[in-house]
Each structure stands twice: as C-alpha cells, then as structure tokens.
Amino acid sequence: MYDPVMRVLTVLEILQARDFVSGAELAERLEVDLRTVQRYIVRLKDLNIPIDSSRGVGGAYRLKPGFRLPPLLLTNEEAFALSLGLRPLRQVGLSAFAPATEGTLAKLGRVLPSALHESVRTVEEVVAIEPGPWVVSTSVDCLIKAASAIRAAHRIRFGYQSHDGAASRRHIEPYAVLHFDGRWYLIGHCLSRCAMRTFRLDRVTDFEVSKATFRRPADFDARRYMQERMPFVQSDYQIDVWIDMPIEEAERNFAPWRIVTEPQDGGTRLRCGRDRLEMFAALLLSTGKQIVVRSPPELRKTFKQLAKAAKQASRPEQRISKRPL
Amino acid sequence: MYDPVMRVLTVLEILQARDFVSGAELAERLEVDLRTVQRYIVRLKDLNIPIDSSRGVGGAYRLKPGFRLPPLLLTNEEAFALSLGLRPLRQVGLSAFAPATEGTLAKLGRVLPSALHESVRTVEEVVAIEPGPWVVSTSVDCLIKAASAIRAAHRIRFGYQSHDGAASRRHIEPYAVLHFDGRWYLIGHCLSRCAMRTFRLDRVTDFEVSKATFRRPADFDARRYMQERMPFVQSDYQIDVWIDMPIEEAERNFAPWRIVTEPQDGGTRLRCGRDRLEMFAALLLSTGKQIVVRSPPELRKTFKQLAKAAKQASRPEQRISKRPL
DNA sequence: GGAATTCCCGACAGAACCTGTCGTAAATTC
DNA sequence: GAATTTACGACAGGTTCTGTCGGGAATTCC
C-alpha cells in the first residue's frame, strides 16, 4: 500500500508493542525498502518521538521515553484495562493525584469502540465496588500537601486531635502516606517525641510545610512499617493476655484485629495495644474460651464491669415504658 | 510547516480533545486551506477512524466510536491518570476483567516521558495502598464466570458451603456481583428457596453456567440491595434489643456493623441478623450501656455465659504452669 | 422561502515529496 | 578482520500535495 501516513504510524505501533525491532524486519512488515524505513524513522524523530538505534550485529530500533507522549497505538484490550482502571481511582482516594481523570474518561469515551465501551459499562453494571461504610474522607488538599512534602523531603507542622480528643501541634519529618483500612495515614518522625509516629490525616488541621529539609530513610517501606507497628499504634494500654485457644485458631480469629499471637502453655499469648479496653475484652469474651489477664490491671476491672452488664442483660425483658404509636 | 503526517495527526488530536470542531477552525489552526483539511479528514477516514460530520449552520466534525481504537493523542496529565489507575485495579480485584493490565503497564512504561514516569513512581513510593488484612481472595475464574453469566442472563449452579459449614448445591438466577468489605458477593434469585440470596464467592465451588436463561430485573441496583439487606443476610438469629444510648451515638457506633438503629423509649432500638450471637453480645457489652434483650431468647443465654466468663477473667492472674525457657 | 453557513468534491497547475537503487561510512559483535 | 546493522547522500522516475476555482448538498435561521 502506498500510504506514508499509515506506514509511519505502523512503525510507531510496532515500536510501542516491542522492546526492539530491526530495520530489516520493519521493511519486511511494511513491504518497503530498508532505506524507506530509515526515512520513516527520521520522520518519527521529526515528530519528537525519541527513538534509540544501535548499529552492528543485533542492531535495532527502540523507543525511549521522551518529553512528550507520542500517539498511543493501543489494542482494544489495553484500552479496556485503562478505562476500567480510572473508576477505582476515586474509590481508593488517588484521583486527587490525577485531576485529569474526568477529562481522560471523556476522551476515552469519545474514541473507545462501541463494543468495548459496552464491555466497560457491563462490567460496571454487573460488578459493583463498595469501599465499605467506614471509609473516612480526608481533605484532598491535605493529602496532596503531605505527598508533596514527602517528595521534597520537607518538614511539616500541623495541629492534631488524637483519639482521646487531646489537641496538640506536631513538628514532623514525613516519610510516607498510606491508604489503609479506609483511612489515610501519615507516617513520620516526630521531632518533639524523637520517635516514629503515625497520624490519621482526617484528624490533621492547619497543615504547613516548612522550608527545612531532612534526609528521608532511603529504604523506608510504609506497608512493612504498618504491619509491624499497627497493633501498638498510639495505645494507652499495652495488653497481654493468655487464652485457651490453639495458635492456628487464634491467628484466624485475631490477626485481622491486629493482635500479635504466639503459642504458649498449650494456648496462645495475645499482645496488642489499645486505646480502650472494652472492645478488646468483648472480643475475647465472644470466643467463649478461658482467659487469663496478665496486663494491664484495668483489663480485669473491665471484665468485672462486663460481667455485671452481661448478667443484667441476661435477665428477662423488662418493660421500659409502653410502646408509643 | 509542510508536513502532512504531522498535520493529519494534529487533526486527530484536536478531534479527540474536543466534542466537535469546524473545518474553518481546523484550517486556521493548521494554517492551510479548508480544502486541504477536507482532504485530511478523508485521509483519517481511510485509516478507519470514524468521523462524523454535519453540514449547514453550526456544521462540524466529530469523532464517533468505531470498531478499532485510533491512535490516542493524550496529554501528559491524561497519561499520568491512566498509568496511576492501573495499579489499584489489582487491589480492588478487577484486574481479572482486564488481563491486558500488565501489557498496558509495559507499553505505558515504554512511552511515558521520564518526568511523568518519575511522578508515577513518586506517588507510588510515598503513597501506599493497603487493601486491609481481611481481603479474601476469590477465584478469578469463578468471578469471571459469574460476571459472564450475569451479562448473558444465564442461570447458574454451584456448590456452596455456608457459614455454619453446611454444604448445599444451589440453582441461581444471578443478578450482580459486588465487591464489598474486602469480599466478592454474588447476589441472585435462588430457585430452590424462591427468594433472593447473597453468596460469598470464596465459598463457591463447582461453578456451572446453565443454558437456561432468565429475565434480569432491569433496574436492579446491587449497592442499594446490599445496603438494605446486609444486616439480615443469611442470619440464624434475628436480633432485637434496646440500648440506653442516644440515636446519634448509636448510629456512629453500630452503623458500621450493619445494625439497623431507630430511636425508641429515650434510647435506641437495634435490629440485625447474625449467625452467631457472641460477637454481637460482646459488641453491646463493650459500650457499657444498659441493654434490654427482646429477641432471641438465646441472646440472654449468651449474656449469661459472657457474664460467667467475664467474672472468671476478672480474677487475679492464675499461673497455668511454669513459664518455659 | 431564501439567505447564510457549512460540509463535500472534482479539476487544474505548480510545487513538493516518495521510493527504489546504488555507493559509501560508521559502529558493533563474533 | 569479516559479517551485520544503522546511517545517509545522490539520482531518476513516479506520485502526491496544495491552493484555487466552481458547483452541489444539507442545515439553520430570519
């Protein structure tokens, strides 16, 4: 076919689909002379599409990232994946980093083949995604500021309202932000306490980025940090109990609640941090197993209170008052 | 500039970026004669790019979805959003529907400008996403089969292991699948029970799609259904209690646990379905409020058991045995 | 119903480009 | 050092591109 436009685009398509390709192969695919292929390569370079080339045995052409995106030649399957990927972006909370999401959706909507568009809509229709009822909205502005400060290695200050309602002002070297369990967390080094701390971004106010910089640990892994630290994050009580339950069953029951389990004395030792004891005590009670409290002493008091409340609740129903109409 | 290839691509770029554009405007942008623009439109149509055109006042050109994707002319911001969107696809569990995700990531990796590529990596590095520790893996095959059956309106059969371990074989008219709270659910009309049922896909085995079809309710909304039904899904016990707690506080505390709350007698009436009572009873106990059990009677027994267990746990620590080294 | 506006297209002349071929240079690998 | 590949200029012959001109068709608005 005589159509330079089509051929040039085909060269680009092959380059995008492959890591490298020789001039002879391109000439064969296009059914033109090798010299013509070389002219096409020059044409693409003139379009600011950066193409690397290497001479000699095994010589080839390859694409390299440039300053501007070249025309994308995507297969229908690739476009489907991209279109599908834009939807959950909002739900995971990342669309704040990609303000062009809506515009991109519009653009794809214009060019996606009808059958493909129909497939995307079908998946959306029959496959529903619900983040969960406890997803907490975080200020987009705060999230972006935090991410920018981390990227630029700048210290930050903000007002913080902790779990017990106490307000404080913090001066932090931020290491990472993490979307976990429906909430955004900031992980960093607290300069006041000289220790690592974790903050819920929805409790942050009056966010400021300092000019002062710091050196962020090069290999800091937010996920690993949270997995190791979460059970003890910001806890008023360090809990240590023994339960008459095999380690396997304990792991199934308690791991999701961020409780450290280890086998001991024919049962399992449970350790975790908690701000309030009732919830944890109730969780243990719900297992129906024997429990031995090692620490804190307050936990025994809590069980005493629960015993009283449970006993009262086990009595036959008392009428509070006549039912209103 | 004299470069037909460039000009043709520019026409395509403008068409992708705009809903519609006139020939005169294109001619002005490209600095060519209107007739030349019309020739370019013909060129693009020859490349199987479907372009609609309308004559008369307000006449214009516009792209319409065709059978094959045209070369995509994306801005850097749009490419950034698309690249970012592919990552959460796995975590939300949708990559099963888009097997081309990895290939698309590779292709974008080849062409994304370095600065952009760096931004994507930076966001990925400082912004971590963790689905939550209780996300349950579902068979990808099962998920896709379910979605396909729904789309095709075909009945399905499968083995099901319910929460209490009982195994059964089900014959279902599937309406939707839903990703909710870290799990995939199938919602459908059970032909054996003649009623709507919800199934966790990770408990499904031996999945078969029938040839028999059915008529799916046209306006079925999976999210709405789950919001209304979830508290009572597959429950052995229908719980009805009163608690000495204001409605506002009750909503904050119990809504995340899928408990229906309504103000009553100065406190709150709580209703929900549960397969096991211990967890719910423990949850109530943890509030420290007065509780009145209306139904079921087993719940009072549960409170009695909890009272006994709590009393035992409140005693000073007893040594189970000597601590091993 | 007619004017104005837009897409649509063929024909023409002049200008510009495309392609295969040939020869030579440079770089790389074996 | 041979073989292999990219790189490029020069040439001839063929092909395409562009602006211009004129006319047709469809649509909107007054």
More confident call, A5 vs A108: A5
The β-bridge partners of B98 are: none
Q: Shortest CA distance to A1 belongs to which of A36, A43, A35? A: A36
CA of A54 to C1' of C27 (A): 8
3-state secondary structure of A161: strand
* 0.95 surpassed by complex ipTM: no
**The pairing of beta strand A127-130 with beta strand A195-200:** unpaired
If asked whether residues B85 and B117 sit together in one domain, one would say yes
Averaged pLDDT for residues A242-267: 78
Q: What is the spatial distance between Cα A104 and Cα A110, in angstroms, rounded to a whole number?
A: 10
Nucleic acid strand D within 7 Å of A56 CB: yes
- Tally C-beta pairs within 8 A across A and B: 392
Number of neighbours of residue A230 by Cβ within 10 angstroms: 17
pLDDT band at B308 (very low <50, low <70, confident <90, very high): confident
Tokens (6 digits) for A13: 């398509």
Instruction: Check CB contact under 8 Å for B73 and A71.
Output: yes
What CATH number is attached to the domain comprising A284? 3.30.70
Verify cis geometry, omega within 30 degrees of 0, for the bond prior to B4: no
Q: Tell me the pLDDT tens digit for each residue of B257-298.
A: 667 778 888 888 888 777 667 777 877 887 778 888 888 888
Residue at a domain's end among B183, B202, B229: B229
Q: What is the pLDDT of residue B125?
A: 57
Q: What percent of chain A has pLDDT over 90?
A: 3
Residue at a domain's end among B174, B194, B229: B229
- B contacts of A128 (beta carbons < 8 Å): 176-180, 222-223
> Cα–Cα distances in Å, from B241 out to A232, A287, B269?
34, 21, 6
Tell me if A134 is assigned to some domain. Answer: no
More confident call, B42 vs A133: B42
If asked whether residues A244 and A306 sit together in one domain, one would say yes
Tell me if B199 is assigned to some domain. Answer: yes
Q: What is the pLDDT of residue A236?
A: 66
- B contacts of A7 (beta carbons < 8 Å): none
Q: Looking at the partner chain, which of A74, A130, A150 has a beta carbon nearest the beta carbon of B178?
A: A130
Averaged pLDDT for residues A45-51: 80
Spell out the alpha helix ranges (H) of A232-296: 247-254, 278-285
If asked whether residues B198 and B120 sit together in one domain, one would say no
pLDDT(B303) > 80: yes
Instruction: Check CB contact under 8 Å for B81 and A100.
Output: yes
If asked whether residues B176 and B146 sit together in one domain, one would say yes
More confident call, A258 vs A39: A39
- B contacts of A76 (beta carbons < 8 Å): 68-69
What is the full DSSP assignment across B165-231?
S-EEEEEEEEEEEEEETTEEEEEEEETTTTEEEEEEGGGEEEEEEEEEE----TT--HHHHHHHHGG
If asked whether residues A190 and A152 sit together in one domain, one would say yes
Q: What is the spatial distance between Cα A104 and Cα B80, in angstroms, rounded to a whole number?
A: 10
More confident call, B308 vs B69: B308
Q: What is the pLDDT of residue B135?
A: 40
Tell me if B324 is assigned to some domain. Answer: no
The overall average pLDDT reported for chain A is 75
Query: Chain B contact for A287, CB < 8 A?
Result: yes
Q: Tell me the pLDDT tens digit for each residue of A184-240.
A: 778 888 888 788 888 888 788 888 888 888 888 877 777 667 666 655 555 567 788
Is B60 in contact with B54 (CB distance < 8 Å)? yes
pLDDT(A317) > 70: no
Q: What is the pLDDT of residue A220?
A: 77
Tell me if B296 is assigned to some domain. Answer: yes
Q: Tell me the pLDDT tens digit for each residue of B100-133.
A: 666 676 666 666 666 666 666 666 555 555 444 3
**Total structural domains within chain A:** 4
Q: What is the pLDDT of residue A82?
A: 74
Tell me if B70 is assigned to some domain. Answer: no
A57, burial (CB in 10 Å: exposed 0-12, middle 13-18, buried 19+): exposed
Q: What is the pLDDT of residue A121?
A: 63
The β-bridge partners of A274 are: A237
Averaged pLDDT for residues A86-101: 62
Verify cis geometry, omega within 30 degrees of 0, for the bond prior to B65: no
If asked whether residues B159 and B206 sit together in one domain, one would say yes
Place of tokens 């406890």: A134
Tell me if A71 is assigned to some domain. Answer: no
Q: What is the pLDDT of residue A76?
A: 67
Is B108 in contact with B82 (CB distance < 8 Å)? yes
Q: Tell me the pLDDT tens digit for each residue of B199-224.
A: 888 788 888 888 888 888 877 777 66
- A contacts of B256 (beta carbons < 8 Å): 133-134
For C8, which residue's CA is nearest its C1'? B38
Query: Chain B contact for A10, CB < 8 A?
Result: no
If asked whether residues B148 and B175 sit together in one domain, one would say yes
Is B22 in contact with B33 (CB distance < 8 Å)? no
If asked whether residues A151 and A190 sit together in one domain, one would say yes
Note down the domain range covering A91: 76-126
Q: Shortest CA distance to B264 belongs to which of B285, B243, B294? A: B243
User: How far apart are the two ends of chain A, measured CA to CA in Å?
Assistant: 84
Residue at a domain's end among B202, B229, B256: B229
If asked whether residues B147 and B225 sit together in one domain, one would say yes
Q: What is the pLDDT of residue B239?
A: 84
Tell me if A87 is assigned to some domain. Answer: yes
pLDDT band at A322 (very low <50, low <70, confident <90, very high): very low
If asked whether residues A150 and A216 sit together in one domain, one would say yes
What CATH number is attached to the domain comprising B11? 1.10.10.10
What backbone phi and psi angles, to 5 degrees, belong to B260?
A: -80, 130
If asked whether residues B162 and B217 sit together in one domain, one would say yes
What is the full DSSP assignment across B12-49?
HHHHHHSS-B-HHHHHHHHTS-HHHHHHHHHHHHHTT-
Q: What is the pLDDT of residue B275?
A: 65
If asked whether residues A252 and A222 sit together in one domain, one would say no
Q: Tell me the pLDDT tens digit for each residue of A139-157.
A: 566 776 787 788 778 899 9
Instruction: Check CB contact under 8 Å for A320 and B265.
Output: yes
Tell me if A223 is assigned to some domain. Answer: yes
